């Protein structure tokens, strides 16, 4: 088990390295000049040359990549002499537009993304899995049909469209909620919850649809298993049969998908955060794209990739812990 | 966001090639829900193709500014009710510029369908070729392609696409979108094809053909490939709505097709500052986007059910 | 004394298939009744009808009396009290019949706890004792193992332990040896014979294999197309079969003491509509 965990972690590190190299290559082989991007529109050639030197853009790609990797594990400094800029461990780059290390920008924004992701996840798991289970149990009923139509609708909703409809209805028309804004959980818990309600609902509508469909399918599959018949033949009460012998196996694939989805969301719900104007990691990425702040884009990409890869590993480990057959092999 | 591609296709989808296409259409038309969906999809495709005709009939164009249709005193809000819906502008006008919404929606449908269909085509071609190679030849070919697919599927693809597109300022956006979407989408097809090809390569009728002295190429082309059309058709239908949604999402973020070429995601993005005063302007392209994605999702389910009766639940 | 009486039992599925058609059965306490027939003859559906385990799209008519009480049409609550407790069942494929996510000891104890007020530990002790009784070596350790860690024969032993831990009056064994190797089949039959002698449990043995019936049953019912076509003691049916179908069924069993046929005969009886209700419905 421990060996298995180590092997998975090593594979994850390798994947991150490849992603890192690929992202790096895109930025440094593409025609856009990062120095130009760091400096802005009206920029003298001298200033650009200076920035090039500071960023180390005159070195070869390989040297730059090596410096970048070293920066991640040990921190680094940019430039020389009076203009030295330090970027402490773990250095995912330095934004010359905001004069901040990318890592600090990311960690500043992370709580918002986590709030959005976790809250929405609780909501969609509760709604989606419940709806899926009930649908499977009353398969073919009116409820089942209605729930599955609703689920397909939810799956097809573009998040920014849902977001605008929600804002229009709840804020403009009904006046139930204030315009969403960044509120700290510790300073103003009620305001925080109010600002989070709409992103939670918007994300949950999409994901609950996905989860209801998957849960229903898995549940129907496990209800048809012979061991469910055995459990009934033993005379177990029906709730126990359903919970222990039908739901438990049906939840296994859902654990996998949930881990992946949560990992992807923790790395920034790009569109959701942008449309609600909430300053999370995703909003940071969207802003960086608009202002062509390449070190930030690169940093966010790696940061998000880190979450996805980490989610992958966690899912594998959780799966191994939950499934005795995998556990034995691992 | 758009990660909900099917992870597996029931093996029953695999059937003998034959008069499947005719019977598939018949079966789709036999069910009221899928017949309706098929009609909606056809309508959308016709509208997209006939976009110039529609705008000509309506007497508008997607790029003409109609300053008379908006009220500068109200900051450029459309004159009249419901976003400026009138006999001249059937779906209203864009606030600010006064461009015709109907014209932009039908031209937007072109972009949406064109990019998603081409991206699906690319991912199907790449996925089938590589998946077939991996599943049929096995060994190191399988190892290399398998790793590549695993790697691509564990990429945070949306953010990566954004990084890629935003780092390439001079490149044609529509082409880039197709390439990027197809490139990140093919492993889903590839994984499926690989699995099916592995089963088929060991199947009895392939063994029979091999015993009869068929060459490897003949085996691939005549025995294995025809048996893959069913599952590939299903995964292709199911990936179209994903590509439509992703393209719209990228356009919404400002890295889709460049203005003034209209696209639905971009229209919704430009509606954000106006949503409180002029809700029609986000409702109309949003509704088109929603209905299109929904129609293709229903169609995907219907095609799967029609090709694999066992999966009908 | 009659333990189980089935009178005019018919099972219809919504699809229009009649899987069992006016079947009569009788099983006395402590006896073994072999129910024989080819796939689709309705024998498995009969056993599930007795247990009340048929899917909701099945309609059951007729009488099923167990220990003087009518079971057809009574509530799930009553049936649940009997299932696993007084009527137990084992199935054909022991791997798919055991839940892969729980240790076998837990699954055996689960049956016990469903009917007796027993704590986890007490039930576990019962489970270990049962596993030992069905011949599983190192039962204390193996109780904590998962189904995939057992061989086919051992899994069927686990199923038997699960079925017998509450000392039921009736054990329904649906093709208990079909999925197993021949040598393992013999072991499981020995075990069933032994358990029956010790506990006096009546067994309804469902099989397509006349050889299995000969080794274990007292009485036989031959089913075809959802009906009983022949019945009697094993001796009668084997030595003086009256029906051509039964003769055909008997001829399908290879004999060690007879001449070796070039090819075993194949049954060529026309299949009726009822006969088409295959095991798929189960």
Q: What are the sequence ranges of the domains in chain C? A: 2-86+168-281
Structure tokens at B33: 């829900």
Phi-psi domain of C164 (left: phi exceeds 0; alpha: psi -120 through 50; beta: other):
alpha
Compute the radius of gyration of chain C from its Cα atoms. Answer: 19
Query: B–C contact (≥3 CB pairs within 8 Å)?
Result: no
All residues of chain A having their beta carbon less than 8 Å from the beta carbon of residue C88 are: 233-234
pLDDT for A215: 93
Asked if B163 and A301 come within 8 Å (Cβ–Cβ), the reply is yes
Residue A99 within a domain: no
- Order of all β-strands in the sheet with C18-28: C18-28, C2-13, C58-66, C69-70
DSSP string covering A66-131, please? HHHHHHHHH-EEESSGGG-EEEPSS---EETTTTEEHHHHHHHHHHHHHHHHHHHHHHHIIIIIHH
Number of separate domains in chain B: 1
DSSP code of A293? -
Do A148 and A219 have their domain in common?
yes
Using pLDDT thresholds of 50, 70 and 90, give the confidence band for residue B89.
low
Counting as contact any 3 or more CB pairs under 8 A, the partners of C are A
All residues of chain A having their beta carbon less than 8 Å from the beta carbon of residue C103 are: 324
**Residue A196 structural domain:** 112-329
Asked if C93 and A236 come within 8 Å (Cβ–Cβ), the reply is no
Name the burial class of residue B63, with classes exposed (0-12), middle (13-18) and buried (19+) by CB atoms within 10 angstroms of its CB.
Answer: middle
pLDDT for A247: 92
Structure tokens at A77: 């400094």
Task: Chain C: give the shortest CA distance to residue A134, in Å.
Answer: 17
Asked if C85 and A235 come within 8 Å (Cβ–Cβ), the reply is yes
Q: Which of A19, A52, A87 is where one domain is finished?
A: A87
Please answer whether residues B115 and B60 qualify as being in contact, where contact means their C-beta atoms are separated by less than 8 angstroms.
Answer: no
CATH number, domain with residue B266: 1.10.3720.10
Query: C–A contact (≥3 CB pairs within 8 Å)?
Result: yes
Asked if A225 and C149 come within 8 Å (Cβ–Cβ), the reply is no
Point out the residue among A15, A18, A30 whose CB comes nearest to the CB of B167: A30
Q: Can you name the residues that pair with C177 across neighbouring β-strands?
A: none
C58-66 and C2-13 strand pairing: antiparallel
Residue A103 within a domain: no
DSSP code of C207? E
Distance set, CA C40 to CA C219, C279, C281 (Å): 21, 6, 10
Question: Rounded to whole angstroms, how far apart are CA atoms A104 and A281?
Answer: 11
C219-224 and C32-36 strand pairing: parallel
**Angle, vertex CA B165, rays to CA B163 and CA B166, nearest 5:** 65
- Return the residue of C nearest to A240 by Cα: C114
Residue A280 near chain C (CB below 8 Å): no
All residues of chain B having their beta carbon less than 8 Å from the beta carbon of residue A210 are: 4
Chain A / chain B CB contacts < 8 angstroms = 137
Residue A81 near chain C (CB below 8 Å): no
Task: Give the mean model confidence (pLDDT) for residues A192-211.
Answer: 89
Please answer whether residues A110 and A190 qualify as being in contact, where contact means their C-beta atoms are separated by less than 8 angstroms.
Answer: no
SS3 for B228-272 is HHHHHHHHHHHHHHHHHHHHHHHHHCCCCCCCCCCCHHHHHHHHH
With residues binned 3-state (H G I as helix, E B as strand, rest as coil), the percentages for chain A, rounded to 5, are 75, 5, 20
Residue A79 within a domain: yes
Residue A100 within a domain: no
Residue B290 within a domain: yes
Q: Which of A124, A168, A131 is nearest to A265 (CA)?
A: A124
Do A281 and A144 have their domain in common?
yes
All residues of chain C having their beta carbon less than 8 Å from the beta carbon of residue A140 are: none
Do A134 and A56 have their domain in common?
no
- Return the residue of B nearest to A206 by Cα: B1
Residue B46 within a domain: no
Residue A221 near chain C (CB below 8 Å): no
Which alpha helices (H) appear in B138-203, and where do they start and end? Answer: 139-153, 157-166, 173-201
Q: How many residues does chain B have?
A: 313
Residue B7 within a domain: no
Do A310 and A173 have their domain in common?
yes
Point out the residue among C53, C81, C162 whose CB comes nearest to the CB of A232: C53
Using pLDDT thresholds of 50, 70 and 90, give the confidence band for residue B264.
confident
All residues of chain C having their beta carbon less than 8 Å from the beta carbon of residue A324 are: 100-101, 103, 146, 148
pLDDT for A120: 92
Task: Chain C: give the shortest CA distance to residue A214, in Å.
Answer: 20
Phi-psi domain of B259 (left: phi exceeds 0; alpha: psi -120 through 50; beta: other):
beta
Name the burial class of residue B97, with classes exposed (0-12), middle (13-18) and buried (19+) by CB atoms within 10 angstroms of its CB.
Answer: middle
Higher pLDDT, C157 or A57: C157
**Residue B286 structural domain:** 51-311
Q: Can you name the residues that pair with C4 across neighbouring β-strands?
A: C27, C66
Higher pLDDT, B169 or C88: C88
Task: Chain B: give the shortest CA distance to residue A81, in Å.
Answer: 31
Residue B276 near chain A (CB below 8 Å): yes
Question: Rounded to whole angstroms, how far apart are CA atoms A97 and A75?
Answer: 20
The whole-angstrom distance between residue C229's C-alpha and the CA centroid of its chain comes to 19
Using pLDDT thresholds of 50, 70 and 90, give the confidence band for residue A83.
low
pLDDT for C146: 92
Sign of the alpha-carbon torsion through A165, A168, A169, A175: positive
**Angle, vertex CA A305, rays to CA A268 and CA A211, nearest 5:** 60
Sign of the alpha-carbon torsion through B8, B12, B18, B20: negative
CATH architecture of C2-86+168-281: 3-Layer(aba) Sandwich (3.40)
- Return the residue of A nearest to B246 by Cα: A158
Q: What percent of chain B has pLDDT over 90?
A: 5
Do A31 and A141 have their domain in common?
no
Residue A266 within a domain: yes
Task: Give the mean model confidence (pLDDT) for residues A272-280.
Answer: 86
Phi-psi domain of A140 (left: phi exceeds 0; alpha: psi -120 through 50; beta: other):
left
Q: Which of A108, A105, A94 is nearest to A38 (CA)?
A: A94
Asked if A301 and B160 come within 8 Å (Cβ–Cβ), the reply is yes
Using pLDDT thresholds of 50, 70 and 90, give the confidence band for residue B88.
low
Structure tokens at C179: 């999925």
At A213 the three-state DSSP class reads helix
All residues of chain A having their beta carbon less than 8 Å from the beta carbon of residue C84 are: 233-236
Asked if C76 and A236 come within 8 Å (Cβ–Cβ), the reply is no
Task: Chain B: give the shortest CA distance to residue A159, in Å.
Answer: 8
Of A34-48, A279-293, B268-282, the least confident: A34-48
pLDDT one-digit tens code per residue, B99-134? 777 778 888 888 889 999 999 999 999 999 999 888
Residue A139 within a domain: yes
Counting as contact any 3 or more CB pairs under 8 A, the partners of A are B, C
Q: Which of A167, A168, A173 is nearest to A197 (CA)?
A: A167
Name the burial class of residue C214, with classes exposed (0-12), middle (13-18) and buried (19+) by CB atoms within 10 angstroms of its CB.
Answer: middle
Point out the residue among A225, A234, A322 whose CB comes nearest to the CB of C111: A234
Please answer whether residues A268 and B159 qualify as being in contact, where contact means their C-beta atoms are separated by less than 8 angstroms.
Answer: yes
Residue A245 near chain C (CB below 8 Å): yes
Higher pLDDT, B50 or A120: A120
Q: Which of A87, A102, A133 is where one domain is finished?
A: A87
Residue A322 within a domain: yes
Please answer whether residues B105 and B264 qualify as being in contact, where contact means their C-beta atoms are separated by less than 8 angstroms.
Answer: yes
Asked if C97 and A238 come within 8 Å (Cβ–Cβ), the reply is no
Using pLDDT thresholds of 50, 70 and 90, give the confidence band for residue B7.
very low
Asked if B313 and A267 come within 8 Å (Cβ–Cβ), the reply is no
Q: What percent of chain A has pLDDT over 70?
A: 93
Using pLDDT thresholds of 50, 70 and 90, give the confidence band for residue B224.
confident
Using pLDDT thresholds of 50, 70 and 90, give the confidence band for residue B135.
confident
Place of tokens 């008379």: B68
Task: Chain A: give the shortest CA distance to residue B4, in Å.
Answer: 7
CB contacts under 8 A, B 2-31 vs A, are 3-4
Please answer whether residues A53 and A69 qualify as being in contact, where contact means their C-beta atoms are separated by less than 8 angstroms.
Answer: no
| Best residue in C97, C143, C158 for a mutation probing chain A (most A CBs within 10 Å) | C97
Of A137-151, B15-29, B280-294, the least confident: B15-29
pLDDT below 70 — which residues of chain C?
253-282
Q: Which of B229, B302, B216, B280 is nearest to B16 (CA)?
A: B229
Point out the residue among A233, A244, A322 whose CB comes nearest to the CB of C51: A233
CA dihedral C247, C249, C252, C258 (to 10 degrees): -40
Point out the residue among A226, A236, A328 whose CB comes nearest to the CB of C114: A236
Point out the residue among A159, A210, A300 whose CB comes nearest to the CB of B4: A210
- Return the residue of A nearest to B155 by Cα: A305
Do A128 and A81 have their domain in common?
no
Higher pLDDT, A238 or B196: A238
Residue A282 within a domain: yes
Do A168 and A303 have their domain in common?
yes
Residue B28 within a domain: no
Question: Rounded to whole angstroms, how far apart are CA atoms A156 and A120?
Answer: 17
CB contacts under 8 A, B 160-219 vs A, are 160, 162-164, 166-170
Number of separate domains in chain A: 2
pLDDT one-digit tens code per residue, B238-261? 889 989 988 888 888 888 787 778
State which of A80-89, A143-152, A187-196, B218-227 shows the largest mean pLDDT. A143-152
Q: Which residues of B233-271 are buried (b: 16+ CB within 10 A; e: fewer)?
A: bbbbbbbbbbbbbbbbbbbbbbbbbeeebbbbbbbbbbb
């Amino acid at each position: 088990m421990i060996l298995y965990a180590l092997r998975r972690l090593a594979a994850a590190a390798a994947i991150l390295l490849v992603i890192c190299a690929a992202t790096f290559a895109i930025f440094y082989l593409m025609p856009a000049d990062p120095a130009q991007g760091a400096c802005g529109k009206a920029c003298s050639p001298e200033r650009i040359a200076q920035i090039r030197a500071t960023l180390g853009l005159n070195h070869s790609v390989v040297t730059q990549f090596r410096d970048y990797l070293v920066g991640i594990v040990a921190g680094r400094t940019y430039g020389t002499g009076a203009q030295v800029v330090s970027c402490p461990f773990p250095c995912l780059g330095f934004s010359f537009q905001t004069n901040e290390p990318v890592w600090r920008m990311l960690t500043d924004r992370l709580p918002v993304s986590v709030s959005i992701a976790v809250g929405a996840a609780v909501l969609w798991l509760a709604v989606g899995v419940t709806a899926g289970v009930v649908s499977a149990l009353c398969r073919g009923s009116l409820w089942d049909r209605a729930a599955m139509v609703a689920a397909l609708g939810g799956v097809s909703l573009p998040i920014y469209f849902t977001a605008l409809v929600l804002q229009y209805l709840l804020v403009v028309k009904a006046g139930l909620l204030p315009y969403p804004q960044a509120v700290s959980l510790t300073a103003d818990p009620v305001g925080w919850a109010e600002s989070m309600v709409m992103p939670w609902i918007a994300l949950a509508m999409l994901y609950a649809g996905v989860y209801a469909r998957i849960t229903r399918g898995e549940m129907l599959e496990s209800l048809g298993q012979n061991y469910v018949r055995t459990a009934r033949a033993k005379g177990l009460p029906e709730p126990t049969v359903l919970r222990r012998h039908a739901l438990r196996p049906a939840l296994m694939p859902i654990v996998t998908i949930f881990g992946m989805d949560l990992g992807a969301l923790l790395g920034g719900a790009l569109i959701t955060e942008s449309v609600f104007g909430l300053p999370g990691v995703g909003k940071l990425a969207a802003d960086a794209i608009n202002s062509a702040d390449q070190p930030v884009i690169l940093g966010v990409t790696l940061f998000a990739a880190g979450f996805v890869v980490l989610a992958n590993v966690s899912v594998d480990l959780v799966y191994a812990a939950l499934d005795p057959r995998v556990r034995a092999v691992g | 966001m758009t990660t909900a591609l099917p992870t597996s296709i029931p093996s029953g989808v695999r059937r003998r090639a034959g008069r499947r296409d005719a019977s598939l259409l018949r079966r789709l038309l036999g069910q009221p829900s899928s017949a309706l969906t098929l009609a909606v999809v056809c309508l959308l495709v016709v509208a997209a193709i006939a976009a110039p005709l529609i705008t000509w009939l309506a007497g508008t164009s997607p790029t003409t500014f109609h300053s008379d249709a908006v009220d500068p005193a109200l900051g450029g809000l459309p004159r009249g009710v419901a976003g400026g819906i009138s006999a001249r502008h059937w779906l209203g006008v864009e606030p600010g510029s006064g461009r015709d919404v109907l014209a932009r929606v039908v031209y937007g449908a072109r972009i949406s369908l064109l990019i998603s269909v081409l991206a699906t085509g690319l991912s199907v071609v790449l996925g089938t070729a590589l998946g077939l190679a991996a599943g049929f030849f096995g060994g190191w070919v399988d190892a290399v392609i398998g790793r590549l697919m695993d790697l691509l599927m564990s990429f945070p693809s949306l953010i990566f696409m954004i990084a890629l597109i935003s780092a390439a300022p001079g490149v044609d956006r529509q082409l880039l979108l197709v390439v990027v979407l197809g490139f990140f989408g093919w492993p889903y097809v590839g994984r499926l094809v690989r699995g099916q090809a592995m089963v088929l390569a060991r199947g009895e009728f392939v063994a029979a053909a091999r015993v009869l002295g068929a060459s490897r190429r003949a085996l691939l082309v005549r025995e294995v490939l025809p048996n893959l059309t069913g599952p590939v058709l299903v995964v292709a239908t199911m990936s179209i709505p994903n590509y439509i949604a992703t393209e719209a999402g990228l356009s919404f973020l400002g890295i889709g097709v460049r203005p003034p070429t209209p696209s639905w995601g971009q229209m919704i993005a430009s509606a954000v500052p106006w949503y409180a005063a002029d809700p029609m302007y986000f409702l109309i392209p949003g509704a088109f986007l929603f209905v299109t994605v929904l129609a293709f999702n229903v169609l995907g389910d219907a095609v799967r059910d029609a090709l694999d009766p066992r999966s009908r639940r | 004394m009659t333990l189980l009486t089935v009178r005019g039992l018919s099972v219809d599925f919504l699809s229009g298939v009649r899987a069992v058609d006016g079947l009569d059965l009788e099983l006395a306490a402590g006896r073994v009744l072999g129910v024989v027939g080819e796939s689709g003859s309705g024998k498995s559906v009969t056993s599930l009808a007795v247990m009340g385990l048929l899917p909701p799209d099945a309609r059951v008519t007729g009488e099923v009396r167990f220990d003087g009480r009518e079971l057809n049409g009574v509530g799930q609550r009553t049936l649940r009290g009997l299932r696993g407790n007084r009527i137990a069942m084992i199935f054909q494929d022991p791997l798919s019949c055991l839940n892969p996510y729980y240790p076998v000891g837990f699954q055996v104890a689960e049956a016990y706890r469903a009917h007796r007020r027993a704590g986890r530990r007490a039930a576990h002790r019962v489970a270990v004792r049962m596993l030992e009784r069905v011949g599983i070596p190192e039962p204390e350790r193996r109780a904590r193992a998962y189904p995939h860690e057992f061989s086919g024969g051992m899994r069927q032993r686990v199923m038997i332990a699960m079925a017998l831990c509450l000392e039921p009056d009736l054990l329904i064994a649906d093709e208990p040896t079909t999925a197993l190797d021949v040598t393992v089949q013999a072991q499981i039959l020995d075990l069933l014979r032994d358990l029956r002698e010790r506990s006096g449990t009546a067994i309804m043995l469902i099989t397509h294999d006349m050889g299995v019936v000969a080794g274990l049953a007292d009485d036989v019912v031959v089913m075809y197309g959802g009906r009983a076509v022949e019945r009697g003691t094993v001796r009668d049916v084997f030595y003086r079969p009256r029906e051509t179908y039964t003769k055909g069924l008997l001829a399908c069993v290879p004999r060690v003491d007879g001449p070796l046929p070039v090819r075993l005969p194949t049954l060529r009886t026309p299949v009726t509509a009822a006969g088409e209700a295959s095991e798929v419905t189960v």
